[in-house]
Amino acid sequence: MRRAVLVPGLIALAVLLAPAPAAAVKKVPYPEVKVSVTPAFKGDPGLDALRKALADAAARKDMAALSALVAPKFLWTSGGEPAENFDGKRDALHNFKVAFGFREAGKTADGPTEIGPQWNLLALFAADESLGQDPGSPMVCGPLMAKAVDEKTLEQAIEKVDEENESSEWIYFVDEVTLTGSPTGGSPVGKFAQSALPVVSIFPVPQETKPPAEPKPPTHIELLLPSGKTGWAPVDKMRPLVIDRLCYARVASGEWKIAGFDQSE
If you average pLDDT over each of 4-8, 40-44, 45-49, which comes out highest?
45-49
* 1-35 tens-digit pLDDT: 444 443 333 344 444 444 444 557 999 999 999 99
| pLDDT over 60 (residue 89) | yes
DSSP 192: E
- Specify whether 222 is located in the same domain as 249: no
Amino acid 1: pLDDT: 44
DSSP labels for 119-176? HHHHHHHHH----B--TT-S-EEES--EEESSHHHHHHHHHHHBPTT----EEEESS-
Model pLDDT, residue 187: 93
List phi, psi (to 5°) of 46. Answer: -65, -40
Expressed as residue numbers, the domain containing 33 is 6-39+149-240
Same domain for 49 and 138: yes
* Residue pair 235/11 in contact by the 8 Å Cβ criterion: yes
Specify whether 65 is located in the same domain as 179: no
Are 89 and 63 part of one and the same domain? yes
Q: What is the reported pLDDT for 30?
A: 98
pLDDT tens figures, 173-185: 888 999 999 998 8
What pLDDT does residue 204 have? Answer: 85
